[in-house]
Structure formats: C-alpha cells, structure tokens
Amino acid sequence: MGSPLQRGKMNLLLKNGRVIDPSQKIDAKLDVLIEKGKIVELGNNLDNKAKSIIDLTNKIICPGFIDMHVHLREPGYEYKETIKTGTYAAARGGFTSIACMPNTKPVADNQAVIRFIANRAKEEGIVNVFPIGAISKDLKGEELTEMGELLSNGARALSDDGKCIQNADLMRRAFEYAKLFDLIIISHCEDFNLSKNGMINEGFISTKLGLIGIPKAAEEVIVARDIQLAEFTKSRLHIAHISSSYSVELVRQAKKRGVNVTAEVTPHHLVLDESLVDGFDTNTKVNPPLRGEEDRIALLEGLNDGTIDCIASDHAPHARTDKEVEFDQAAFGMVGLETSVSVILTKLVHHKKLALSEMVGKFTLNPAGILKLDKGTLQKGKDADITVLDLRKESVIDANSFLSKGKNTPFSGWKVTGLPVMTIVGGKIVMEDGKVANK
C-alpha cells in the first residue's frame, strides 16, 4: 500500500484521535472518514468503511488551519519566496489554506496578477491559496483598484498591507466600493507621519539603543479612523497584526457598538516583546514593531475575550541579503508559517494562557468566517482539510531546516513542545511527520 504520503486521495479513516472542531462544538474521541476528498462521517466503528486506516492515538484532529496573512512574494521577489516554497512551508506548519498579500512586483492590483497567483498555486502549490487584492493601484494610496474585477478573478479580500492609505477620503471610498462587492478590507494601520523612519517601538529601549522609534499612536490613530469609516459606511473591516493595548480597546468598544470589525494578532506579538531587540538581531525587526509587556498582556486578553478573532503569522520571508545588514537598513518582517502552531502551543496553550479549543477556533472557524471560505470545519460534505497535532512532541526550531526560503526568525533555537504532525488538503496527505509530499 506504500507510505501514507503516497496513498493519495483514496478513502481514509483517521482513527483513535481526539477531534476538536469549534464549528460543531465537538471535543471528543471520534474517527474521521474521508472519501473523494470530502469529510463523510465522524463517528465510531467505521473501520469496515475504509480501505486505509491511520492510527492517531494521542493526537488531536482539527479542521485544517488557515493563515490569513502570508506574503508569498511571487511574482517579483522569487529570491525571497515562491508560491511553491511558501505552500510547502505552510503544509509543514500545519496550514491547509493561506491568504496571500498583494505587495508583490507587480502588485496584485489587477486581474492578471490575481489570476497568475491563483493559477500558479493550482499548478505548484500543495495547500489552498486565496489571493488578496490591493485596495489602491500599486499600493500608492492614490487611486482605487477595480475591485469587482479582482473579485471575479479570485481575490478574497482587499488590503494595501505593508502600506496604509493615508488619505481618509480615499479610504472612505474604498469602504463604500468594497461594500458593493461584499469584500472585506484588511487594514495595515500605520500613520506614516507618525511612524516616519522608525524601526522599533518608541520608548525606553529605542532611546537606549539610539534607534528611531515608532509610537503606538501611529497604529492607533488609523485603527480609530478605520473603525469610524467602517461604521459610517456600514462596511466590513479587519485589522491586521494588531499590536497595541489601546488598539485592542478600540476594537473591543467598536464590537460592542455593533461595528463590523474583526482583528488578527501574530504569534510574535503574543509571545515576544521589545526587549528582544536589545541584541540588534535584525530578525526582531518587524512592522508593527514588537511592543512592551503591557501591550503583550492586552493582546492576550483581547484574544481570550473574543476581541481578537484570529491568529495569523504575517509570514514575511526575506533573503539573507535583506537582513544581514545594519539594523536601520534591514527589511521588516519575520517568517511564521513553520513556527506559529508550535510557538502558540508551547507558550500559550501549555502555560494555560489560551485554551486549546479557543486556539483551534482562532486558526480555523474564525478566519474562515472573515474570508467567507467554505472551510474551517469538519462538517459532513466539506473539503477534507485537516490538521493533526501532537501536543507532546518536542523539537528545536531550526531555521536552516525550513522549507520556506526565508530563514528570518527570532525563534530559531527555541525548544518547543507540540507540533503539527499531519496536514491533509482535500483528502490528500501533504505532510506527515514533517515530511512534505512533492506535488
């Protein structure tokens, strides 16, 4: 019969695992039957219905994890990452679906680039890829894109991520226009007059190191503006990589008022803080910057009380030449696809800062809802996208072993407990025990 990786799309029974599916409020020992790429049944005594059985004793079976904030870099920056290497890294990291940001070269601001990404992902990718289109042409913040055209060619959301539209009137028009197509706007919140040439969080450490700081207000004023505009236009807003305590409070209050706003947080903002920058490691240079401890605690609170809906990596691969330079010259960003799940399990779930079922929801049901994907669930009839976790498996993060071209992570050398051990996309096992199937 060959190794499970070779079993392909045949019918398959995942046996003896603990199923956690927040979409159906399931947390129970159940077997999962997969046929023709779909979930057929959750139950017991299903052995006689399967040709192939995989024993998942002591493992957790979840709906496939979704990372809604990934930079794949193709077209244009293939030396940093390609759609192929990015999806391999995603499979290794337990992700069955990713949404990719439009700051490529050329920018994904027109139907040709969106179609190119979607086609390339089908040809070479091993997980589902959902392209995000730009809000403004060439991310310049001057002229809106043809949003309907982006949607009809496969764009699932709109964002100028990496940049931020500074003109509030243009942003208002963006919300109004996006609403016509029921597209969500994902906002990278940054007032460029406030962030200027900043590199790290503004505060004691930036002063001590003599590095220009980025004040939290650079994020907060745009979070406030965009909430106001989403409320005014009755449009949908998603806040990307939220990083400050007051931003969380703004989203909390807006949700209470009934504004259609959601938010994501990265693993690095949840478990690291600005003190890490003290060694001038350019892998800690990220935008928005790592903040203070009080912000980190507020992000955790927001995650737990539902203010923050999901965890997304902001996987931002860069080449060594972009990072092994002076701190002020280094590119912003860190990779995340191959570390997100382990880091969250190790630092939050095992330390009882986030319940396991909550974590699963933040990686499945919630991002699926925000992007309106028919995914994030193990309901009968849905695509058999599945992530299997081993909560006890120990390993050491080693950037050199990443499948991503980007090795830029401050987590290298970290000892972690808990790993994704199997990734199944449309009924096909694309990763098992860290080994990824070639397409």
Binding mask 96-125 for ligand DOR (x = CB under 6 A): -------x----------------------
Report 31-90 residues binding ligand DOR (CB under 6 A).
71
- Among the listed residues 21, 220, 314, 383, the single contact to Zn ion using CB under 5 A: 314
Query: Which 181-220 residues touch ligand DOR, going by CB under 6 A?
Result: 188
Among residues 109, 161, 219, 220, which is the contact residue for Zn ion, using CB under 5 A? 161
Q: Does 67 bind Zn ion (CB under 5 A)?
A: no
- Helix H, strand E, coil C: the string for the chain is CCCHHHCCCCCEEEECCEEEEHHHCEEEECEEEEECCEEEEEECCCHHHCCEEEECCCCEEEECEEEEEECCCCCCCCCCCCHHHHHHHHHHCCEEEEEECCCCCCCCCCHHHHHHHHHHHHHHCCCEEEEEECCEHHHCCCCECCHHHHHHCCCCEEECCCCCCCCHHHHHHHHHHHHHCCCCEEECCCCHHHHCCCCEECCHHHHHHCCCEECCHHHHHHHHHHHHHHHHHCCCEEECCCCCHHHHHHHHHHHHHCCCEEEEECHHHHHCCHHHHHHCCHHHCCCCCCCCHHHHHHHHHHHHCCCCCEECCCECCCCHHHHCCCCCCCCCCECCCCCHHHHHHHHHHCCCCCCHHHHHHHHCHHHHHHHCCCCCCCCCCCECCEEEEEEEEEEECCHHHCCCCCCCCCCCCCEEEEEEEEEEECCEEEEECCEECCC
As measured in angstroms, the least distance from the Cβ of 169 to ligand DOR is: 23
CB of 188 to Zn ion, least distance (A): 7
Task: Give me the least distance between CB of 318 and ligand DOR, in Å please.
Answer: 7
Per partner kind, with CB cut-offs from 5 to 8 A, the member of Zn ion, ligand DOR, none near residue 333 is ligand DOR
Q: Is 21 a catalytic residue?
A: no
Catalytic residue among 67, 314, 322, 383: 314
Q: Which does 287 bind (CB under 5 to 8 A by kind): Zn ion, ligand DOR, none?
A: ligand DOR
Binding mask 133-162 for ligand DOR (x = CB under 6 A): ----------------------------xx
Select from 332, 353, 379, 417 the one that contacts ligand DOR (CB under 6 A).
332
* Contacts with ligand DOR, residue ranges (CB under 6 A): 71, 103, 161-162, 188, 286-287, 316, 332-333
Query: Which active-site residues does the annotation give?
Result: 314
* Contacts with Zn ion, residue ranges (CB under 5 A): 161, 314
